[in-house]
Amino acid sequence: MTVQWILAIILLILMVSVGGKKGARSFIALFLNFGVFLFVLLFMNDPDINPIILTLIACILISCISLFYISEYNIKTLTAFISTIVTTAVLLFFILMLTEISMIQGFSEEEIEEIGAFSLFVGVDFVKIGASMILMSTIGAIIDLSISISSPMKEIHFHHPDISRKDLFRSGIALGRDILGTSTNTLFFAFFGGYMALLIWFKDLSYSLGEIVNSKVFSSEMIFIGSAGIGVALAIPITAWITAYFLMRKRDKRIEG
């Protein structure tokens, strides 16, 4: 038995022990989302397929799996799903603009030796590929933040059914503020933790601080982190407003009925 299987079994046992049925669904959702990721990779290099459209479809599938499959269909998962899609669509405009202006697409000079034996005419738009990478890296954090806001807001509305939409929205914003700091830190360390070897390589190449900061690889990572932070920040008011709107509309329909 390989180490990967042992880790998977330990993870399954822990998730089922702690989360019960929902923990088992979460474990299965990991593999389903991994399947969506493989689907994106297989079709990303097809020049006839727009990477942005493909990534948006993948984000919708990942959101459905992470929300509706794990927590089932209800008002909080519905509002979190809508908030995730709206936030992703708004974030896409920032990402396309940043990747176009910063010109971080393509390969960096540090990668010349590794790709020297291959043809550079791959026939794909690296601006769109870069935007797709940022979206795929950010979608998990946006989903997590959206459900973390919509679920407590639903509980607040349940225990205080007479609360106004404005006060409920303010409660959602207050919840988001508490989550914002930890979410951005999580994204920051996740990105830089994955590129720790690159930073060590920069040190071995005797790069100065200025060369590191101005390198294409470092700049792209900073743009990734900044875009992810923008997505997380945007998700807070969007989720708070959408959740408050749906909960109030549901209450009004119940009163009228």
Q: Which of 214, 224, 215, 219 is nearest to 184 (CA)?
A: 224
What one-character-per-residue DSSP string does 156-195 give?
HHHH-TT--HHHHHHHHHHHHHHHHHHHHHHHHHHHHHHT
Provide the domain limits for residue 221: 72-103+125-256
Burial (0-12, 13-18, 19+ Cβ within 10 Å), 134: buried
Query: What is the crossing angle of helices 196-204 and 165-194, to 10°?
Result: 40
Question: Is 204 part of a structural domain of the chain?
Answer: yes
Q: Which residue has the higher pLDDT, 191 or 174?
A: 174
Q: What is the pLDDT of residue 102?
A: 64
Question: Is 88 part of a structural domain of the chain?
Answer: yes
Give tens-digit pLDDT for 136-171: 888 888 898 899 899 999 988 888 888 888 898 999
Q: What is the pLDDT of residue 238?
A: 93
Question: Is 63 part of a structural domain of the chain?
Answer: no
Buried residues in 87-109 as b, exposed as e (16+ CB within 10 A): bbeebbebbbebbeeeebbeeee
Tally of structural domains, the chain: 1
Residue type at 215 in one-letter notation: S
Give tens-digit pLDDT for 67-115: 998 888 888 899 999 999 999 888 888 777 776 676 655 555 555 555 5
Give tens-digit pLDDT for 104-127: 555 555 555 555 455 555 556 667
Predicted model pTM: 0.82
Burial (0-12, 13-18, 19+ Cβ within 10 Å), 124: middle
Question: Is 24 part of a structural domain of the chain?
Answer: no
Question: Is 115 part of a structural domain of the chain?
Answer: no
d(CA 224, CA 131): 9
Q: What is the pLDDT of residue 1?
A: 60
Question: Is 251 part of a structural domain of the chain?
Answer: yes
Question: Is 117 part of a structural domain of the chain?
Answer: no
Band of residue 188 on the pLDDT scale cut at 50, 70, 90 = confident
DSSP code of residue 65: I
Q: Is the model's pLDDT at 18 over the cut of 70?
A: yes
Question: Is 149 part of a structural domain of the chain?
Answer: yes
